[in-house]
Structure 1
Amino acid sequence: MSYQALYRVWRPQKFSELVGQELIARTLKNALMTQQTTHAYLFTGPRGTGKTSAAKIFAKALNCHHQENGEPCNKCDICKAITTGRLNDVIEIDAASNNGVEEIRDIRDKVKYAPTDSDYKVYIIDEVHMLSTGAFNALLKTLEEPPENVVFILATTEPHKIPATIISRTQRFDFKRITAQNILQRMEYILQQKDISYEENALKVISKAAEGGMRDALSILDQVISFGDNGEVTVDNALLVTGSVTQKKLTLYFSQILKQDTAGALETLYAILEEGKDAKRLVEDLINYCRDLLLYQQDPKIIEQNEIELFSDSEFKDFASQISPQTLYQMIDLLNEQQENMRFTSHESIYLEVLTVKLTQVKQKNLNISQEQVSGDHAVIKQLVNQVKELQGQIEKLKQQPNVIQSGNSKKANTKQVGTKSSGKNDKLKINLEQIYTLLNNATRQNLLQLKEAWGDLLNMLNPAQRAMLRSFKPAAASAAGIILVSDFPFICQRAQMDTELKEAVENGLSRLIATAPELIFVPEEKWQKIRQEFYQQRQGEDKTSEQQEIVEQPVIAKDNVTVPLVEEAKKIFGAENIEIKED
């Protein structure tokens, strides 16, 4: 058979011909020039990126007596023999079909013999991850200490399957995916050498379909050349061979999705499938379309810098200005989900129909509206912060005033002031005493300490508005089922009690931090003191009928370091650091 595939005819024969692997080529050339080569190498990377080609070039340069700057001459008998695969000292082994212990033992026995025609004996083991565990163990000692004139080059697409003991005995080189621009330039060079006419957009379709593999790109190019009547490379032929969708059809389909025109989008889908387009390729093209929209929204220059084809139609720019990133994220998630599902079915068209309906039902979010909402949220947060600062300033002023609660008139004035303060909006705050008493009966110091330890992390989990509001509260009591939060500002208690989003956010945060979601009870400080005192009095009265009657009837205030049971009970519930004992 006289004809050879393009990827075989145009296989790189020098390091300078390795496309997209300049760093690896430079490192290997410098090692050859300075004679600092090692006994074992590991070449890893996606398929078609030049691993085996680099191994053969390295074997030629290592044995070439006319080496120039680390490059083989490709003219001497050794280079020609290695290029054609006739040199017995360069052994290429496919581990996929020779993965047993016996094959590796055979290598271990023959490696002792000196090379016959060249300076070094080179073993190139391709797809080395396919070796069995026993084969790896048989290779281990030989790989660690081979004879001086033996070099091992291991190549694989799945390095994670290779034992760490093997990897540690090699120099590892990671081959990266070749960029679309490098693939395009290489195809242009080959077609110019073969004197074949081509359309540049056709090469862009091929380079995009190759997904970073030069061998895949040249194989597709070979098919496109054969498909054309006159051997020309056209866009239509490239689209037919790769199964890709034209840009015009993609734009039409996407515009109908954004307009939530389900019927129109389904008709466009059917038209694409009737043309014989590949279903998986269609999903891939839609993902790339959404990705290009995201990049264009961030910075149009990114598209040029990353050599992504910029869409010429004005609709693309309109899409980028109208649709929000959040909507694109939802669409990409749906596309990825269906792409995964389509791997395990033979009814791909059904999944595409369901995908189309789901995409048209995605809730569209206008980019400008979302920005206005964000600015509005910032205004609310700023207003809340200012209110808190103003209230804190008023508290400081009140603290600095002299204590006037000594005369009878002052007491009356103070009583009148408290009555005024508790009127109006504050009367709307309803406090369920039965609920609070139930919580206090079950409250423990351990629950309160656990809550206080998690309080800082809880605040960090809230948004700025919720965080600002919750900072004015402090935990006063806690049980497994509920928490009492006390604030100096009654109107903030009222607002927090009505804020269902705040409650849900706090409960969700606590469920993550302390594995429970207790109910929140917001109580003003002035009412909390009275509620707590009444609770203790009620509990003291109940305890008089119990076995602890004599203990409860002891003096209320502890003098001369005498322990009072009531104080001890309060310390257990609220914590010693929250208890202050005052004499009447």
Structure 2
Amino acid sequence: MSYQALYRVWRPQVFDDLVGQEFITKTLKNALMTKQTTHAYLFTGPRGTGKTSAAKIFAKAINCRYQKDGEPCNECETCQAITAGRLNDVIEIDAASNNGVEEIRDIRDKAKYAPTQADYKVYIIDEVHMLSTGAFNALLKTLEEPPANVVFILATTEPHKIPTTIISRTQRFDFKRITPQAILQRMEYILQQKNLSYDEKALKVIAKAAEGGMRDALSILDQVLSFGDNEVTMDNALLVTGSVTRDNLTKFLHQVVAKDTSSALATIHDILEDGKDATRMIEDLINYCRDLLLYQQAPQIVEESELGMLDDDFKQFASEVDPELLYQMIDILNEQQENMRFTSHESVYLEVLTVKLSRLRSREVPVAKAQISSDPATDAKVSQLQKQLNELEKSFKELQNSSGAKVTVAKPKKVARPQSQTGEVKLNLSKIYEVLSQASKSELLQVRELWGDLLNMLNVTQRALMNVAQPVAAGKGGIVIGFEYDILCQRAQADQELQDVLENNLSRLLGEAPKLIFIPGNRWPEIRQRYLSEHGTASNEATKKEEVSKTQTVPPIVSKAQELFGADLIEIKND
């Protein structure tokens, strides 16, 4: 028999083999044991996380007459026929190539007939978001009035493209990205079963490169085994994945921070001559800068995600580098990564990137005390300046006492920083005021209740960006969203695709498509107060409550609640 890829040979055959999806497997097994299965399921999640495998296992379990604890036996004729793809009652369809109305109508017509061999007829529709609008409408009719003994399992990587009318008629399961630790354990188990030698550090590189997909991890492992003659080594793993070693990344960033441009360019050339992928290097640099930032705030998170591969050089560098410099680096790296998609001269972009990074400056450059005290000439200069300052202060006091008059020194006027300064978030106050003029507490509470559902409808990158944001005001036709960090607010304002996805999903959840306005969260109190002062308080419900509260005695428990949650979210009801 010809060679089969690892991800096919080691494809899960029972629910317990699915890695990293314990909540989903437990729910499905309980439903099978208690005979509480439904007629339609929706499996969503990133690629390679087990959606199709779970669908096939479910098809076997629901038709297996010897199932135990919700698991198929995999030994009876029905289980073996489904595993081999020979059972006519389990139909797997690729919606990418069968997305027309006629194909779905054909499914609807055939679904009316009873299964021929199994107890249930199971339709597994992969990448269901590729169906046309007409095909979705044809499928909707079947889901509204499902035939007996028919189960539909819809699988997709992009659930936001599926109409809510379809989603509402299914039982939805969101498959998570698999953790690097779980991927590592699965690969170790497979290699031990095959009696193959491996370097644990090499497996950690593969687990990280897989980005949460078990199928991707096994495909990379397959390549490494073929390249290394059934031996997994660190060098082979780096060559196959195109990854750059952490030592090289640390060396490069050290040179960039030290403004040693020539050495940094030499390091770049050495890395490219070793056959590393330029695009992959930028991605590794972004992840490395992200790890540095996170390590400064929450070291345990980075330790877990890096599988204990952090060395002393990384920890020392994280304690020295300025976070503001890392923010700027990540912005430039993201911009350059986007530009490199449209060029064939990747090395040129890397060289330009190196020069840009080397010329960055921190907004605040801390001077270490050790550096000041280590130079005798500097110490003498500081002492002389301090002596001169003391003499000036003494002369000033004598002049004030001898004249008998009060001498004042005019303080320089503070110059307000313009709001449109480069690097700051641009705000359109007229649009914000337009939303505030129609904003209400009930609308805001409704949006906040749906916020978690909205985030679940985004992809991983979009969800990570919006996790640090929350709605602060909502009204008819508009929502104001505040971000914890200015730099992420800027990124959201520039991401038109993100705005389109948010508005599209909100229209499904709310029944209307509100206009979204992004603002930095720390500026929200100032904007709100300015709006109240400019537009009066007669039409503002929150201000009315404040005026009433001024004339009444507020109990201490109410004051504490207002302090914790905000006065605009507290409603007082008398018994």
Asked if TM exceeds 0.5, the reply is yes
Q: Tell me how far apart the structure 1 counterparts of residues 231 and 99 of structure 2 sit (CA, whole Å).
A: 43
Q: Tell me how far apart the structure 1 counterparts of residues 129 and 368 of structure 2 sit (CA, whole Å).
A: 50
Q: Using structure 2 for the length normalisation, give the TM-score.
A: 0.64
Secondary structure, in 3 states, of the residue corresponding to 2:408? Answer: helix
1:512 deviates by 11
Aligned position for 2:262: 263
Q: Tell me how far apart the structure 1 counterparts of residues 248 and 211 of structure 2 sit (CA, whole Å).
A: 22
Aligned position for 1:128: 128
Q: Is residue 13 of structure 1 aligned with residue 9 of structure 2?
A: no
Asked if 1 retains the 8 angstrom alpha-carbon contact of 2:180 and 2:305, the reply is no
Change (3 A) 1:9 1:510: closer
Q: Is residue 196 of structure 1 aligned with residue 186 of structure 2?
A: no
Summarize deviations over 1:344-401 as a string: whole Å, max 9, x none.
2222222211211111111146785599xxxxxxxxxxxxxxxxxxxxxxxxxxxxxx
Aligned position for 2:61: 61
Aligned 1:484-503 pairs, distance under 5 A: none
Aligned position for 2:243: 244
Change (3 A) 1:289 1:149: same
Q: Tell me how far apart the structure 2 counterparts of residues 167 and 227 of structure 1 sit (CA, whole Å).
A: 44
Letter in 2 for 1:111: A
Q: Is residue 329 of structure 1 aligned with residue 327 of structure 2?
A: yes
The higher radius of gyration belongs to 1
Q: Is residue 357 of structure 1 aligned with residue 355 of structure 2?
A: yes
Q: Provide the alpha-carbon RMSD of the alignment.
A: 3.0
Aligned position for 1:396: none
Aligned position for 1:116: 116
Asked if 1 retains the 8 angstrom alpha-carbon contact of 2:43 and 2:155, the reply is yes
Letter in 1 for 2:13: Q
Change (3 A) 1:147 1:303: same
Asked if 2 retains the 8 angstrom alpha-carbon contact of 1:321 and 1:367, the reply is no
Aligned position for 1:385: none
Change (3 A) 1:256 1:119: same
Q: Tell me how far apart the structure 1 counterparts of residues 275 and 262 of structure 2 sit (CA, whole Å).
A: 21
Q: Tell me how far apart the structure 1 counterparts of residues 410 and 83 of structure 2 sit (CA, whole Å).
A: 93
Asked if 2 retains the 8 angstrom alpha-carbon contact of 1:16 and 1:25, the reply is yes
Change (3 A) 1:366 1:289: farther
Q: Is residue 272 of structure 1 aligned with residue 255 of structure 2?
A: no
Q: Tell me how far apart the structure 2 counterparts of residues 276 and 426 of structure 1 sit (CA, whole Å).
A: 66
Summarize deviations over 1:413-456 as a string: whole Å, max 9, x none.
xxxxxxx99x75389999xxxxxxxxxxxxxxxxxxx9xx9xxx
**Range with greater deviation from structure 2 (115-124 or 135-144):** 135-144
Could you tell me the percent identity over the aligned residues?
73
Asked if 1 retains the 8 angstrom alpha-carbon contact of 2:303 and 2:310, the reply is no
Change (3 A) 1:263 1:78: same
Change (3 A) 1:251 1:305: closer
Q: Tell me how far apart the structure 1 counterparts of residues 177 and 342 of structure 2 sit (CA, whole Å).
A: 27
1:59 deviates by 0.5
Aligned 1:335-346 pairs, distance under 5 A: 335-346=333-344
Q: Tell me how far apart the structure 2 counterparts of residues 9 and 175 of structure 1 sit (CA, whole Å).
A: 22
Q: Tell me how far apart the structure 1 counterparts of residues 20 and 315 of structure 2 sit (CA, whole Å).
A: 32
Can you give the 5+ residue segments of structure 1 that lack an aligned partner in the other structure?
A: 372-419, 431-449, 454-505, 518-584
Change (3 A) 1:511 1:354: farther
Asked if 1 retains the 8 angstrom alpha-carbon contact of 2:39 and 2:151, the reply is yes
Aligned 1:17-416 pairs, distance under 5 A: 17-228=17-228, 230-312=229-311, 314-364=312-362
Q: Tell me how far apart the structure 2 counterparts of residues 81 and 369 of structure 1 sit (CA, whole Å).
A: 72
Summarize deviations over 1:468-525 as a string: whole Å, max 9, x none.
xxxxxxxxxxxxxxxxxxxxxxxxxxxxxxxxxxxxxx9xx7899579x9xxxxxxxx
Q: Tell me how far apart the structure 2 counterparts of residues 19 and 298 of structure 1 sit (CA, whole Å).
A: 30
Q: Tell me how far apart the structure 2 counterparts of residues 12 and 165 of structure 1 sit (CA, whole Å).
A: 32
How many corresponding residue pairs?
393
1:255 deviates by 1.2
**Range with greater deviation from structure 2 (252-261 or 123-132):** 252-261
Asked if 1 retains the 8 angstrom alpha-carbon contact of 2:20 and 2:178, the reply is yes
1:329 deviates by 1.3
Asked if 2 retains the 8 angstrom alpha-carbon contact of 1:258 and 1:364, the reply is no
Q: Tell me how far apart the structure 1 counterparts of residues 256 and 221 of structure 2 sit (CA, whole Å).
A: 33
Q: Tell me how far apart the structure 2 counterparts of residues 427 and 361 of structure 1 sit (CA, whole Å).
A: 38
Q: Is residue 425 of structure 1 aligned with residue 425 of structure 2?
A: no
